[in-house]
Amino acid sequence: MNLYADVLIAGSGVAGLYSALNLRKDLKIVLISKGKLNECNTTLAQGGISVARNKDDITTFVEDTLKAGSYENNLCAVKILANESIENINKLQDMGLNLDKCEKELSYTKEGAHSINRIVHFKDYTGKKLEEILTKKTLKRKNITVIENCSLVDLIQNNNTCFGGICLKDNKQIN
């Protein structure tokens, strides 16, 4: 069977769901999940989400992240993560993620290699709550087709450009 889309997303965790929701609504998006949509590691993430406290914290956030990764991180990716963290947390809150607050301000905790409190959270099951919200929003979008119990087995490429994927669902091939 051949299935045509503008974008193929493999994975239904927070990265896949959030990516799908941030793409243009005029694109035909196919999101595949190797199991059921809500069976992903995102639901197991308890701690929280790292975010720069403000613009002045971005440099320290970058340094803390590099240190946590033993300086093996991709510096460009870390800078993007830090610079876009506030905007993305605001987007998630707009989508319905009610992060814990203290006196109407976000409640920050400290985890891992962070030098200051910069982890935002929803109780002790941030990942589960985030996955629930993103899943509901994804299923409401008319331009996103979700295929569960489907595995991506190969990419269709030519001259370093990806044109699609070969997937298996119920022992049947989907191109």
Dihedral sign of CA atoms 168, 169, 173, 175 in order:
negative
Distance between first and last Cα of the chain: 6
Q: How many residues make up the chain in this entry?
A: 175
**Which ranges of 74-174 would DSSP assign to H, the alpha helix?**
75-95, 126-140
Do 112 and 78 share a structural domain?
A: yes
Do 64 and 16 share a structural domain?
A: no
Q: How many CA atoms lie within 13 A of 91 on its CB side?
A: 12
Do 68 and 54 share a structural domain?
A: yes
Residue 56 has a pLDDT of 97
Residue 98 has a pLDDT of 96
Do 115 and 52 share a structural domain?
A: yes
Would you state the structure tokens that stand for residue 19, as one six-digit string?
């990516």
Q: Which residues contact 103 (CB under 8 A, 6 or more apart)?
A: none
Domain span holding position 52: 48-124
Residue 43 has a pLDDT of 80
Rounded Cα–Cα distance for residues 33 and 9 (Å):
9
Is the pLDDT score of 111 beyond 90?
A: no
Do 99 and 68 share a structural domain?
A: yes
Residue 170 has a pLDDT of 94
CATH of the domain at 149: 3.50.50.60
Residue 140 has a pLDDT of 98
Number of domains the chain contains: 2
Single pTM value for the model: 0.90
Residue 172 has a pLDDT of 95
Give 3-58 pLDDT, tens digit per residue. 999 999 999 999 999 999 999 999 999 999 999 988 888 887 778 999 999 999 99
Do 86 and 20 share a structural domain?
A: no
Percent of the chain with pLDDT over 90: 90
Do 118 and 68 share a structural domain?
A: yes
Do 29 and 19 share a structural domain?
A: yes
Do 129 and 162 share a structural domain?
A: yes
DSSP bridge partners of 30: 8, 145
Rounded Cα–Cα distance for residues 132 and 48 (Å):
15
Name which of 124, 137, 133 is nearest 45 in CA terms.
Answer: 124
Do 66 and 30 share a structural domain?
A: no
Do 131 and 117 share a structural domain?
A: no
pLDDT bracket for residue 142 (50, 70, 90) = very high
Do 164 and 146 share a structural domain?
A: yes
